[in-house]
Amino acid sequence: MKSKVIAEVGCNHKGDLEIAKQMIIIAAVYCNADVVKFQKRNNKELLSEEQFNAPHPNPVNSYGNTYGEHREYLELSIEEHKELKSYCEEFGITYSTSVWDLTSAKEIASLKPELIKIPSAMNNHFEMLGWLCDNYIGEIHVSTGMTNYNEIDELIQFFIEKGRNKDVVLYNCTSGYPVPYKDIRLKEITRLLSKYKKVVKSIGFSGHHLGTAVDIAAYTLGAEWIERHFTLDRTWKGTDHSASLEPEELKTLISNLKQVEEALEFKEEEILEIEKVQREKLKYRERR
């Protein structure tokens, strides 16, 4: 099974198109990621007036006087996303975006990306999911953070009824920033595989933890897709930076995954070619 890594920029570009482009280059050329992923929100649609005008829950991370202003500051336009998609194509990496509302889903679908991500918070937005099923032909990747088992069943049944379940990649995820190791619960990957492997296209893991050891374990448990938040500097202002990988860490993770991918095979023959010389030289033979 080939591992596939998504470098989730999200809003870690700080609302700056040039930083977003720089992150594409680093993810593609230096880290060798398969996908770089952003986020798209229509904040007036997504947030109530009260939520929009409320202060940011953690003011030190805010880019505006209210939560709505903060979110607007970080938002890139659909024209900028179109430019980012072209930039990804130039550097040989797949472009994708998480969509948080129906307007954003329609805008991003118009760019015809290979895959669109549904964040955990929006996996019960059936109006948006239904529109995507009917109007978007690419893969639909869905996270299952803060979602109970019945809700996951309902979600998968929805895709089955829409005839789109074989376009779905379903992610094990714990929603937290960062997530303590005890709350990652990697064995949920095996539960998703046992229940949905034959129903969906594949299973993934979306991590918000520190370090990269857990991602290797997720792959060995059967997660084909590994998604990690990506930043150029973990000390930058913003909610997601602290749970993100910096370039050297992302590069190391991808390199390690490729090594594990190569190693994680059965023997093609009982005595491997590399062992035959050693067997002849070292293997104990009883003297007669």
The CATH superfamily of 4-282 is Aldolase class I (3.20.20.70)
DSSP H or E stretch at residue 278:
helix 273-282
Model's pTM, two decimal places?
Answer: 0.94
Taking only the tens place, the pLDDT of each residue in 109-160 is 999 999 999 999 999 999 999 999 999 999 999 999 999 999 999 999 999 9
Taking only the tens place, the pLDDT of each residue in 155-167 is 999 999 999 999 9
Q: Among the listed ranges 178-192, 194-208, 214-228, 231-245, which one has the minimum average pLDDT value?
A: 231-245
pLDDT at residue 243, as a whole number: 87
pLDDT at residue 240, as a whole number: 86
DSSP letters along 83-137, please? Answer: HHHHHHHHTT-EEEEEE-SHHHHHHHHTT--SEEEE-GGGTT-HHHHHHHHHH--
Confidence of residue 42 (pLDDT cuts 50, 70, 90): very high
Q: Tell me the average pLDDT of the chain.
A: 95
Mean pLDDT of 190-195: 98
Return d(Cα 141, Cα 162) in angstroms, integer: 15
Which two structure tokens, joined as six digits, stand for 59?
Answer: 């003011």
Beta bridge mates, 6: 35, 227
pLDDT at residue 288, as a whole number: 64
